[in-house]
Amino acid sequence: MVVGGGGAGELLEMSAASDSSFFDSSMRTSNINNNINPDSSILISKMEDVVIPFSSEVPCDNNGQRMWWAFLASSMVTFFGGLFIILLWRTLKYLWTVCCHCNIKNKEAQKVNNPANNQAADRTLKGPDEKEEAPASEVGWMTSVKDWAGVMISAQTLTGRVLVVLVFALSIGALGIYFIDSSDPIESCQNFYKDFTLQIDMAFNVFFLLYFGLRFIAANDKLWFWLEVNSVVDFFTVPPVFVSVYLNRSWLGLRFLRALRLIQFSEILQFLNILKTSNSIKLVNLCSIFISTWLTAAGFIHLVENSGDPWENFQNSQSLSYWECVYLLMVTMSTVGYGDVYAKTTLGRLFMVFFILGGLAMFARYVPEIAALILNRKKYGGSYNSTRGRKHIVVCGHITLESVSNFLKDFLHKDRDDVNVEIVFLHNISPNLELEALFKRHFTQVEFYQGSVLNPHDLARVKIESADACLILANKYCADPDAEDASNIMRVISIKNYHPKIRIITQMLQYHNKAHLLNIPSWNWKEGDDAICLAELKAGFIAQSCLAQGLSTMLANLFSMRSFIEIEEDTWQKYYLEGVANEMYTEYLSSAFVGLSFPTVCELCYVKLKLLLIAIEYKSEQRESSILINPGNHVKMQEGTLGFFIASDAKEVKRAFFYCKACHDDITDPKRIKKCGCKRLEDEHPSTLSPKKKQRNGGMRNSPNCSPKMMSRHDPLLIPGNEQIENMDMNVKRYDSTGMFHWCPSKDIEKVILTRSEASMTVLSGHVVVCIFGDVTSALVGLRNLVMPLRASNFHYHELKPIVFVGSLDYLRREWETLHNFPKVSILPGTPLSRADLRAVNINLCDMCVILSANQNNIEDASLQDKECILASLNIKSMQFDDSIGVLQANSQGFTPPGMDRSSPDSSPVHGFVRQASVTTGSNIPIITELVNDSNVQFLDQDDDDDPDTELYLTQPFACGTAFAVSVLDSLMSATYFNDNILTLIRTLVTGGATPELEALLAEENALRGGYSTPQTLANRDRCRVAQLALYDGPFADLGDGGCYGDLFCKALKTYNMLCFGIYRLRDAHLSTPSQCTKRYVITNPPYEFELVPTDLIFCLMQFDHNAGQSRTSLSHSSHSSHSSSKKSSSVHSIPPSNRQNRSSKTREGRDKQNATRMNRMGQEKKWFTDEPENAYPRNIQIKPMSTHMANQVNQYKSTSSLIPPIREVEDEC
């Protein structure tokens, strides 16, 4: 070692010279004073040749003295010095406390031993207490300062949050300065006044020092505070900065420890309300710990590798950039270790040994967990961004592949014209792969977000406040319907609480749960809120099939969007599918129809526009608008009348709006009816085909099918004969308080229970058999919804079909509370699988057999959910019956149009659908079976060729009206959204006239309330009902054999105000060869030129017949439903009254004696229908022979069989 050089180097390291002249003079002075070498001039000259003068921007000489220990010593002295002071203070405090405690104990002992000195002892004890009170007052300001410091550094106040965020930001800034300086040598000489980064770093560390002081003051435990990570970071980063200023020397050192501040990143984000969920907090925590550890370890490797080992005189160092060290640490943690970069120093290798253990454990634990959190993050957790000019709806509830596919298939159907609505699905479970694929196929109009409508945050994400509506889907297959309804009601409450004005359409499973929606203050059906009760509508559809078989299929197809499927072959599927393509639409009528009567407009639309108008929305000055179904001649069209049409697509319905008599009167092709330039089109009415919220009609609260003019028809001065008001007994309750349903006083269930023998003796005929599977644990299906349409007040009492329930008595007792106010209801305890029970109720003579099950949703296997209903259906179809009774029981299901004489074969235009002369096999019994699983329909008919994958509406049982599944009601959600009047119309058609007033009443009492007959309540009876018109006989017989359906439509509409809308045709009617098959299928809205056959049954909407109620008729157990003559005959086809009397007397004379004897014997037996008066008198009705052969069979049977006592019934009505 050169002494001169060493001295110069030592002086160079020790001095803070700023120029070379000062450096040279210092060196010379040092050498002379120390007398190191006699020949100083030579050494000085040599040194001047070796030592290069430097500026503050040039790194120190590598051969010079290093000062790293000064920087490290400042940190170590600060840390250990402070730690020593804290420990010393604690030790002294402990000793002081122990000594004082011992002194107090000794004085207390002396006080006990020397009672005479108590006072002195008291004074002695009081002295320290007083002395302790003085410091107590001094501690007060210290406590205040401590509390103030605690508030300053806490995140509970705005100042604290700002300070915490600022400290974190400055720490990241200091780390950034470290990254910049890491490209310089580890140790360098820099002038503080000229180095900008050093000045910034100094300012940051001054702030850190102040913040450290606040933290120290606020700390309760100073020792633990001194050992905290953040404190250690400050010890090794703050003091070296001040040393750098003093020495004008910079050492990169341990400034990389600032990376440990990243651990607090999640806390900062929580203070700023950015992180709110546990998963996001956990993810940020894991990432911040991993990254801070990674960067800190890389900084240490960078320090030791660029410095070298001290015991090797720093000769084994290597030049590595900081980011190369980051790379080295990553490949080391991941156990890859490429070997391109490695540690050469002993300190670096020793650190790597320990880091591999900890880093590998951290990498193996943290990285998979971070990956899992990132991959498992809510893929659908964003927020909806609305598109300008485009509406959106929110769909929630039961979101599955089946429910969503059914909804989208109907909502986005091409026949709806242009649906400019986005559908936002919100569900708390992420979709499976199949459902996700479905969303992707409709990505232009469908979005999915994961969340719950019970969470206001999720409601804000889907912009519920700007949504056009919110639709809630229910799980139709759940085991507990009440629990599912409760969940949907809670969803409604949550949504309405967040945004009361939002329109909500929800599905409900049980009818009685609809009452809970009325408890929600913001629920308003007038503003478009609707509850689609599946149990109510399902039972209503089935009930209408009891009155007109096949109607459930026709209505289900009308309210569902089906695409037209063209079939070239002349098969029954061709005609069925042509009708399936029709749907229900609404459109405002052109002003060209103003002033015309409804039948005239209906005929013009059908003949000219090829549209079927079935109802209108009628507005009057006295009351709000109401929906009138086939109202009749007295209703005239108003300006802006809304019509309900049956058509194949929305574009066709526009013809009714564009029609102009001046421009389109001579046009024969309806496709040419387009918008013309007439002045009437200047003021267009908005079409309800667009998804525009439309206020529901409030007139439905009063009556769903009445108007002031219709009410006037029941004025006492206008009632035919003017004698009904005189005979009206105001003290007898025959209808409920709304006048919509037949009513009787409540009956005890024991009075309507039939034993098997009693049922056999009764010999029911023309009745409805309801086979119900259920027990005490089964969910209620709501049998009241099935009975109410069959007890609608627009039927006369003698037209009501008796209803017999066959099933578990325990289950029926639970349902009886809702049934005890309906007349003509009886119960046969048993099982629908028992043929003895079925024969006892004369199932071969019934008008309809309904098979229901309350146990369907309790089975997990979907294929077995319908096993009871399928077994019961197959059991009935395989039964055989006696031929003789079947001949006599050729019961009519049809009706006689108003004004026609019902007692005469020649005068009656129709005796309805007459079944085969003998029902010898169960396959000819009309049956409708309820199914839960659509695919199980393949098991109902063993002779059909339906593919198991065929959609329900394409299967033969559904087309024939013998099967019904609740899934067909899914389409009502979208239909109701586009026009809420649609739901009102369908409820009016299928429920028999349920109104909001009635729903409110049932919500209060859960039972119908009887009301006195008044002109107002009797006016509610004047509404249409659905029936079937037979073509084999009567005034339409000439059209039944090869006539056109359009001619029948016009004749029925003009003559009897009957609106025809479909055909129920034999399946093999198109075959040229005779067929024994009795199955029929539905044809909806046939074209005008459609050819009729004599066996066709026509679906029609018939008017209420006021004259029919004046006759009193009883149903004989061995006769069909014929009727006595009316007081007033208005038919040109009627036969002379004398002939009618002769025909009636022949039947009556042969039976009166036997009836009298039999009735005396039965007088003491049970009354099957206890709601009938005691003075009821029996009447026997003759059967109209179908042919000579049938007449001979009837006459033969009369001469050999004994008479069966009739069921006593009477009708007293105005």
Does residue 1174 belong to any structural domain of this protein?
no
Q: CA 913, CA 1028: separation in Å to the nearest integer?
A: 7
Q: CA 314, CA 629: separation in Å to the nearest integer?
A: 103
What is the average pLDDT across 569-595?
88
Q: Give the CA diameter of the chain.
A: 168
Say yes or no to pLDDT of 64 above 50: yes
Q: How confident is the model at residue 783 (pLDDT cuts 50, 70, 90)?
A: very high
* Cβ partners under 8 Å of residue 447, min gap 6: 384, 422, 423, 424, 425, 439
- pLDDT of the residue at 731: 59
Q: How confident is the model at residue 60 (pLDDT cuts 50, 70, 90)?
A: low
- pLDDT of the residue at 788: 93
Quick one: 407 and 518 in the same domain?
A: yes
Q: How confident is the model at residue 115 (pLDDT cuts 50, 70, 90)?
A: low
* 1030-1074 pLDDT, tens digit each: 888 888 888 888 889 999 999 999 999 999 999 999 988 877 777
Q: CA 219, CA 213: separation in Å to the nearest integer?
A: 10
Q: CA 521, CA 518: separation in Å to the nearest integer?
A: 7
- pLDDT of the residue at 875: 93
Q: How far is CA 709 from CA 506, 622, 634, 635, 636, in A?
A: 35, 11, 7, 7, 10
Residue of 562 and 170 predicted with greater confidence = 170
Residue 888 carries which side chain, given as an amino acid letter? L
Q: Residue 402: give its domain's CATH number.
A: 3.40.50.720
- pLDDT of the residue at 441: 92
- pLDDT of the residue at 883: 61
Does residue 510 belong to any structural domain of this protein?
yes
Say yes or no to pLDDT of 30 above 50: no
Could you give the 3-state DSSP secondary structure of residue 1064? Answer: strand
Does residue 320 belong to any structural domain of this protein?
yes
Say yes or no to pLDDT of 379 above 80: no
Say yes or no to pLDDT of 117 above 80: no
Our measurement of the distance from residue 112's CA atom to the centroid of its chain's CA atoms, rounded to an integer in Å, reads 82
* DSSP 8-class letter at 431: -
The count of structural domains within the chain is: 3
- pLDDT of the residue at 1045: 93
* 359-368 pLDDT, tens digit each: 888 888 888 8
Q: Residue 304: give its domain's CATH number.
A: 1.10.287.70
- pLDDT of the residue at 891: 40
Beta pairing partners, 825: 803
Domain boundary among the residues 377, 399, 428 is at 377
Say yes or no to pLDDT of 289 above 80: yes
Block residue for tokens 């309820």? 930
Token digits for 570? 């002349």
Say yes or no to pLDDT of 61 above 80: no
Q: How many CA atoms lie within 13 A of 326 on its CB side?
A: 11
Say yes or no to pLDDT of 918 above 70: no
Token digits for 640? 């802006």
Residue of 22 and 846 predicted with greater confidence = 846
- pLDDT of the residue at 673: 80
What is the average pLDDT across 913-931?
75
- pLDDT of the residue at 112: 52
Give first-to-last CA distance, the chain, whole Å: 135
- pLDDT of the residue at 129: 45
What is the average pLDDT across 858-862?
69
- pLDDT of the residue at 460: 93
- Strand pairing report for 583-588 and 642-647: antiparallel
* Cβ atoms of residues 546 and 848 within 8 Å: yes
Sign of the CA dihedral with 73 first, then 77, 78, and 83 last: positive
What is the average pLDDT across 639-652?
89
Quick one: 330 and 408 in the same domain?
A: no
What is the average pLDDT across 955-971?
90
* 500-548 pLDDT, tens digit each: 999 999 999 998 898 899 889 999 888 889 999 999 999 999 999 999 9
Q: How confident is the model at residue 951 (pLDDT cuts 50, 70, 90)?
A: confident
The dihedral over CA atoms of 761, 764, 770, 775, expressed in degrees to the nearest 10, equals -10
Q: How confident is the model at residue 1171 (pLDDT cuts 50, 70, 90)?
A: very low
Quick one: 308 and 413 in the same domain?
A: no
What is the average pLDDT across 1178-1185?
33
Say yes or no to pLDDT of 452 above 80: yes
- pLDDT of the residue at 24: 40
Residue ranges of alpha helices (H) inside 961-1120 are: 971-978, 980-990, 996-1005, 1015-1019, 1037-1040, 1045-1056
Quick one: 471 and 416 in the same domain?
A: yes
Does residue 1079 belong to any structural domain of this protein?
no
Does residue 369 belong to any structural domain of this protein?
yes
Quick one: 455 and 493 in the same domain?
A: yes
- pLDDT of the residue at 717: 31
Q: What is the mean pLDDT of the chain?
A: 76
* Cβ atoms of residues 590 and 656 within 8 Å: yes
Our measurement of the distance from residue 1056's CA atom to the centroid of its chain's CA atoms, rounded to an integer in Å, reads 45
Domain boundary among the residues 507, 523, 539 is at 523
Residue (of 431, 425, 432) closest to 453 by Cα position: 425
Q: How confident is the model at residue 106 (pLDDT cuts 50, 70, 90)?
A: low
Q: CA 1003, CA 1006: separation in Å to the nearest integer?
A: 6
- For the residues of 1005-1041, what is the DSSP string, one character each? HSS--EE---HHHHHTT---EEEEEE-SSSTTHHHHT
* Cβ atoms of residues 927 and 877 within 8 Å: yes
Quick one: 340 and 292 in the same domain?
A: yes
Q: How confident is the model at residue 43 (pLDDT cuts 50, 70, 90)?
A: very low
The arrangement of strands across the sheet holding 391-397 comes to 446-450, 421-427, 391-397, 469-473, 504-508, 530-533
* Cβ partners under 8 Å of residue 479, min gap 6: 779, 857, 858
CB atoms within 10 A of CB 557: 26
Does residue 488 belong to any structural domain of this protein?
yes
* Cβ atoms of residues 225 and 214 within 8 Å: no
Q: CA 404, CA 385: separation in Å to the nearest integer?
A: 22
Could you give the 3-state DSSP secondary structure of residue 258? Answer: helix
Does residue 367 belong to any structural domain of this protein?
yes
* Cβ atoms of residues 204 and 196 within 8 Å: no
Considering the chain, what percentage of its residues have pLDDT values greater than 90? 27
Say yes or no to pLDDT of 1182 above 50: no
Say yes or no to pLDDT of 897 above 60: no
* Cβ partners under 8 Å of residue 294, min gap 6: 326, 329, 330, 333
Residue (of 678, 749, 785) closest to 1002 by Cα position: 785
* Cβ atoms of residues 762 and 828 within 8 Å: no
Say yes or no to pLDDT of 1111 above 90: no
* Cβ partners under 8 Å of residue 501, min gap 6: 522, 527
Does residue 708 belong to any structural domain of this protein?
no
- pLDDT of the residue at 857: 66
What φ, ψ does residue 417 adopt, rounded to 5°? 70, -130
Say yes or no to pLDDT of 1214 above 80: no
Domain boundary among the residues 488, 507, 523 is at 523
Quick one: 404 and 367 in the same domain?
A: no
- Where b means 16+ CB within 10 Å and e means fewer, 864-892 reads ebbbbbbebbebbbebebeeebbbbbbbb
Token digits for 1173? 């008066």
Helix (H) or strand (E) holding 890: none
- pLDDT of the residue at 1107: 72
Quick one: 307 and 405 in the same domain?
A: no
Residue 988 carries which side chain, given as an amino acid letter? T
Our measurement of the distance from residue 243's CA atom to the centroid of its chain's CA atoms, rounded to an integer in Å, reads 69
Quick one: 405 and 485 in the same domain?
A: yes
* Cβ atoms of residues 629 and 989 within 8 Å: yes
Residue of 927 and 99 predicted with greater confidence = 927
Quick one: 492 and 457 in the same domain?
A: yes
Q: CA 1017, CA 1011: separation in Å to the nearest integer?
A: 8
* DSSP 8-class letter at 588: E
* Cβ atoms of residues 701 and 993 within 8 Å: no
Residue 825 carries which side chain, given as an amino acid letter? V
* Cβ partners under 8 Å of residue 634, min gap 6: 597, 709, 710, 713
The pTM of the whole model exceeds 0.75:
no
Q: CA 312, CA 316: separation in Å to the nearest integer?
A: 7
Domain span including residue 310: 275-377
961: phi > 0 → left, psi -120 to 50 → alpha, else beta; which? left
Quick one: 280 and 371 in the same domain?
A: yes
Quick one: 373 and 395 in the same domain?
A: no
- pLDDT of the residue at 395: 96
